[in-house]
Structure 1
Amino acid sequence: MDADYPVEHGEPTGETIVLLHGGNVGNWMWEPQVERLAGRHVLTPDVIGFNTRAAEPWPGLAGAADDVAALIRERAVDGRAHVVGLSMGAVIAVHLVARHPDLVRSCTVTGAMMVGVEGMQRRLAELQLRAWERRWFWRMQSAMFRIPGDARERFIAAGMGVTAETARTMYREIFDGSMPKGRFAYTGPLLAIAGEREAGDVRRAFPALREAAPQTRTWIAPRMRHVWSIQDPDLFTRTVLDVVDGGVVPVGSA
Structure 2
Amino acid sequence: MPYATATDGVRLFYESQGSGPAIVWVHEFAGDHRSWEPQLRHFAPHRRCVVFAARGYPPSDVPHELQAYSQAQAADDIVSVLDAAGIERAHIVGLSMGGFATLHVGLRHPARARSLVVAGVGYGAHPDEAAEFQALSVAAAQQFEALGSQAYAPTYAAGPARIPYQLKNPQGWAEFAARLGEHDATGAALTLRGVQARRPSLYALRDDLRGLQVPTLVVAGDQDDLTLPASLYLKATLPAAGLLVLPRTGHTINLEEPEAFNRAVADFIAAVEAQRWTPRDPRTRGPAMQVGEPQA
1:33 maps to which of 34, 39, 47: 39
CA distance in 1, matches of 2:136, 2:192: 14
Does residue 95 in structure 1 map to residue 104 in structure 2?
A: yes
Cα offset, 1:110, TM superposition: 0.8
Spell out, residue by residue over 1:123-154, the C-alpha distance to the aligned partner (whole angstroms, 9 max, x if none).
55443333123243211223443353334322
Q: Which runs of 5+ in 1 are unaligned?
A: none
Q: How does 1:92-171 map to 2 (within 5 A)?
A: 92-113=101-122, 114-115=125-126, 118=129, 122=133, 124-133=136-145, 134=147, 135-144=150-159, 145=162, 146=166, 148-158=173-183, 160=185, 162-171=187-196
Q: Which residue of 2 is the match for residue 48 of structure 1? A: 55
How far is the alpha carbon of 1:228 from its aligned partner?
1.4
1:72 to 67, 70, 82: 82
Q: Is 116-125 or 35-44 further displaced after alignment?
A: 116-125
Distance 1:159 1:195, change over 3 A: farther
Native 8 Å contact 2:107 2:212 kept in 1: yes
TM-score, length-scaled by structure 2: 0.71
Structure 1 position 9 matched with structure 2 position 21 = no
Please tell me whether Structure 1 or Structure 2 has the larger radius of gyration of its CA atoms.
Answer: 2
Q: Which runs of 5+ in 2 are unaligned?
A: 1-11, 167-171, 278-284, 286-296
- 8 Å contact from structure 1 (residues 65, 95) kept in 2: yes
* Cα deviation, residue 36, structure 1: 1.3
Report % sequence identity: 23
Alpha carbons of structure 1 residues 183 and 82: separation in structure 2 relative to 1, 3 Å: same
- Deviation string for 1:98-121 (max 9, x for gaps)? 011111111111111244572896
1:189 to 215, 236, 243: 215
Q: TM-score, normalised by structure 1?
A: 0.82
Matches of 1:196 and 1:136, distance apart in 2: 29
Q: Which amino acid aligns with 1:55?
A: V
Once residues 56 and 126 of structure 2 are traced to their aligned partners in structure 1, the CA distance between those partners, rounded to angstroms, is 23
Aligned length: 242
User: How far apart in 2 are the matches of 1:243 and 1:220?
Assistant: 14
C-alpha RMSD over aligned residues: 2.9
